[in-house]
Amino acid sequence: MMIMLLFSFLFVFIMFLLVMILETKKKNYFSSNTSIECGFEIKMFSRPFMSIRFFMISLLFIIFDLESIFLFSSGNIFLIQNSMHYNIMMILFLLLLLLSIFLEWKNKFLEWY
């Protein structure tokens, strides 16, 4: 097992070195760094700004969605394996979930304005 781990790290390291050695440097031209709108030079920044608040709420949604999937799927494991170790893990998981909701509520991440 240790030999396989060593070979995998060695393989990744060799691939990283090959990329660093074989990478070609591109010249930094002004025309290649700007976007083109129908052949005319742009007058303003073309990307719309995204609200950081929207980004934070979307990340929170993804995190809590994954946590709810873990929580619902753990019911099947509880029916199969009813042990003290599993119960302690689930209590710690629920405490972590409640603590994170409390901290987000305290820091006003859940308010939208």
Q: pLDDT by residue (tens digit) across 34-54?
A: 555 565 566 666 566 677 777
* Average pLDDT of the segment spanning 19-28: 74
Q: pLDDT by residue (tens digit) across 6-18?
A: 989 999 999 999 9
* 67 in a structural domain: yes
Structure tokens, 23? 């990478």
* 36 in a structural domain: no
* 71 in a structural domain: yes
Number of domains in the chain: 1
* 91 in a structural domain: yes
* Dihedral sign, Cα of residue 107, residue 109, residue 112, residue 113: positive
Q: pLDDT by residue (tens digit) across 26-35?
A: 665 555 555 5
pTM above 0.85, yes or no: no
* 9 in a structural domain: no
Find the domain containing 57 and state its range.
Answer: 51-107
- If you search the block for the tokens 């929170």, which residue do you land on? 60
* Dihedral sign, Cα of residue 33, residue 36, residue 41, residue 44: negative
